[in-house]
Structure 1
Amino acid sequence: MLTAQRPHRAASAVLVALLVATACGDPAQRSGEPGTDSARADLRIVAVTHGVSANPFWSVVINGLDDAARDMGVRVEYQAPSTFDMVTMSELIDAAVASRPDGLVVSVPDPDALGASIRAAVAVGIPVITINSGGDASASLGAVAHVGQAEYDAGFGGGERLAEAGVHRVLCVNQEVGNASLDTRCQGLSDALAEHGVPVEVLAVELADPEDTRQRVAGALLADATIDGMLTLGTTGAEPALAALQDLGRVGDVHLGTFDLSTSVLEAIRDGEIDFAIDQQQYLQGYLPVVLLTLYIETGTVPGGGLALPTGPGFVTSETAQQVMDLTSRGLR
């Protein structure tokens, strides 16, 4: 059984608050264009992620990148493959490195596939910050910091909540099998539920095909009527999973939790159709790396000597769903 240490996050939370305060500066300078500091106006940061266009999660990350670029007065360019494709992503990183940016922001869903490209950036003196996935590999790849969720803890916490709900058999619905961070979420879920004698099965689905996901979830539930819990690893899994429950008349009978937020997921939480969502505050995964890289380029400093800055997990329930919906409508959650 996989085990993991639970990090102490108080110091990191303080660092996040200080960084946000530092970044905001004079609100009069938020113009959407580089600021008056000519040195900063020349700074160029490239962000490369695995965030395919079919996943609305990444639009919030991009909002964070854009807002930080305006606040810090730097240029940020964003690139991502059209599908979950590590070969294409490594090529995008290689092209970014060849363009010699002042800094690189990169997600690392597969450290083995992307490691050589990231190390090549470090080798030519480009500071790298990893985000979202790849926190365990970040330091070994030479990154100066990682900004993201503690994925094992998040999955474990989801498992504890499902255990409290009294589930007996659970599906972990994974829309990107092979993404190390998503696999870690399922492992955390499995370990938490193992403590209660609850088995977990991983169900692979297609991120870009919600109808296929709905059918696969429905098929799994019909094949095993003892399944009474599900954790989906993103909203692209949650929405068709809920549709499958509605088709089968099992809403409320099967406890459903999910990672990440969307308007429809939050409405379902508010209405009692989904138990909870695990919020990793992805806006910060876009915003904070730009702040960190700007300060690192200018001063050579990084908070905590490279201490990972966790942006989650937090849990959204029926009591907090409406408040979070208001922020989601603004592209902040």
Structure 2
Amino acid sequence: MRRWASTVVAIALGLGALGCGQTTTEREAPVTIKGTPPARGEAGTAAPRGTNVRIWVVTHGQASSAFWAIVRNGVDAAARQVDADVTYRAPDVYSLQTMVALIDQAVAAHPDGLVVSLPEAGLAPTIRRAVAAGIPVVTINSGSDMYAKLGVLAHVGQPEDVAGYKSGRRLAAAGVRRAVCVNLKIVNVGLDARCAGLARAMREAGGRSTMIRIDDVAATAPGRIARAVRAAHADGVLACNAVSGLATVQALRGTQGVTAATFDLGPDVLAAVKRGRLAFAVDQQGYLQGYLPVVLLAERARYGLFPAQGEVIPTGPNFVTARTAGQAIALARRSIR
């Protein structure tokens, strides 16, 4: 699997240089990105392409989310590099009904490819309809345990149960035996899988874990986490996204003997890792979740090429520690990591 992921990244990077967050309401107008074609005769240039490839991207991430800004950045870079017209849509506030409507709009537009995030099983019938309509579909982000039943070409993302398990193993190696998993109030199958993986790692280490659900942007989030840590007599905390990770740092201020870590990056998260307030942060490489499917679908539309159909293309987990945080901070400020 690692060999396959490396191959896909190498192919994508050969086409050009490389370039779950908040739920704040922010209205975002549909955006179409049109790439600039390379000059005729430039290295790697294909034969004349004619009509541009049209790709739709539908995600459940709001415009104000730092994580989804990274995904969007990858989408934009790929669109420019492969000269594709990309329409990006996301709900103002997540709901299943809105996601279904956005995917149906994409299908009605008859694009050459559709990229869609898969936060819950309720989207399965809509995605199957897109596949049945003859549209090549790649799922991204959450849903590595569901995509195979939907008929999509591939899934680009982090296998979340594996990521939770490996995070739990790291915490266990640091001495944690009573962990709290900080999940979000809005149910997401990927985040649930992270907590399940942590629980499995704790059991193997002879410990236990407790899951709590919070509104990560609420002012009450740090207090909720602090109370859960005390109630569980916890010696470790794993937060499921960057926002709840920062809330965990605030909750544990002045507390001794508790090791904390988080999923997802950002300048503030990386600063906390560098200072040792977080033991590590899990990088699922959201940039690649936006970048790779656009590149792959564009090349499929033009040349009929698509590697390893039906596979997961894993973008994580990658672990950032105090030793490596400095390398990632500048890229986080550019919405690449």
- Could you state the TM-score of these two structures normalised by the residue count of structure 1? 0.89
Residue 330 of structure 1, CA deviation: 1.9
Match of 1:33 in 2: 35
Change (3 A) 1:176 1:281: farther
**Structure 1: which 4+ aligned runs deviate by more than 2 Å?**
31-34, 36-42, 52-55, 221-224
Partner SS for 1:304: coil
Residue 70 of structure 1, CA deviation: 0.2
User: Of the candidates 265, 279, 286, which is equivalent to residue 275 of structure 1?
Assistant: 279
Determine if contact 1:34/1:40 at 8 Å carries over to the other structure: no
Partner SS for 1:130: strand
Q: Percent identity?
A: 44
User: Of the candidates 158, 180, 185, which is equivalent to residue 194 of structure 2?
Assistant: 185
Residue 176 of structure 1, CA deviation: 4.8
> How far apart in 2 are the matches of 1:216 and 1:41?
54
Match of 2:156 in 1: 147
Matches within 5 A, 1:46-195: 46-111=56-121, 113-195=122-204
> How far apart in 2 are the matches of 1:11 and 1:129?
16
Determine if contact 1:54/1:208 at 8 Å carries over to the other structure: no
User: Of the candidates 223, 235, 242, which is equivalent to residue 228 of structure 1?
Assistant: 235
Unaligned runs of 5+ in 1: 1-7, 26-30
Q: After superposition, give the CA deviation of every residue in 1:187-214 in whole Å (9 maximum; x if it has no partner).
A: 11110110112111111011442x1211
> How far apart in 1 are the matches of 2:318 and 2:307?
22
> How far apart in 2 are the matches of 1:92 and 1:272?
42
The code of the aligned residue for 2:178 comes to R
Determine if contact 1:41/1:75 at 8 Å carries over to the other structure: no
> How far apart in 2 are the matches of 1:105 and 1:33?
18
The code of the aligned residue for 1:45 comes to I
The farther-off stretch of 214-223 and 142-151 is 214-223
Change (3 A) 1:32 1:42: closer
> How far apart in 2 are the matches of 1:121 and 1:229?
43
> How far apart in 1 are the matches of 2:100 and 2:185?
17
Partner SS for 2:237: strand
- RMSD after superposition: 1.8
Partner SS for 1:201: strand
Determine if contact 2:74/2:289 at 8 Å carries over to the other structure: yes
Residue 32 of structure 1, CA deviation: 6.7
Query: Is 2:333 the partner of 1:329?
Result: yes
Match of 2:300 in 1: 296
Residue 77 of structure 1, CA deviation: 1.3
Match of 1:245 in 2: 252
Unaligned runs of 5+ in 2: 18-32, 39-46
User: Of the candidates 13, 19, 24, which is equivalent to residue 16 of structure 2?
Assistant: 24
> How far apart in 2 are the matches of 1:84 and 1:207?
14
The code of the aligned residue for 2:321 comes to T
User: Of the candidates 184, 192, 217, which is equivalent to residue 225 of structure 2?
Assistant: 217
Partner SS for 1:305: coil
User: Of the candidates 304, 307, 318, which is equivalent to residue 314 of structure 1?
Assistant: 318
> How far apart in 1 are the matches of 2:220 and 2:56?
34
Q: After superposition, give the CA deviation of every residue in 1:261-309 in whole Å (9 maximum; x if it has no partner).
A: 0111100110010000011111000000001101111222211233221
Determine if contact 2:216/2:247 at 8 Å carries over to the other structure: no
Match of 1:4 in 2: none
> How far apart in 1 are the matches of 2:64 and 2:251?
20
Q: After superposition, give the CA deviation of every residue in 1:53-93 in whole Å (9 maximum; x if it has no partner).
A: 34310000000000000000011111111223112111111
Partner SS for 2:223: helix
Determine if contact 1:13/1:309 at 8 Å carries over to the other structure: no
The code of the aligned residue for 1:164 comes to A
The farther-off stretch of 92-101 and 186-195 is 92-101
The code of the aligned residue for 2:190 comes to S
> How far apart in 2 are the matches of 1:208 and 1:106?
25
Equivalenced residue count is 314
Determine if contact 1:151/1:184 at 8 Å carries over to the other structure: yes
The code of the aligned residue for 2:156 comes to V
Change (3 A) 1:101 1:208: farther
The code of the aligned residue for 1:15 comes to V
Match of 2:8 in 1: 15
Partner SS for 2:220: helix
Partner SS for 1:261: coil
Match of 1:261 in 2: 265
- Could you state the TM-score of these two structures normalised by the residue count of structure 2? 0.88
Change (3 A) 1:97 1:321: same
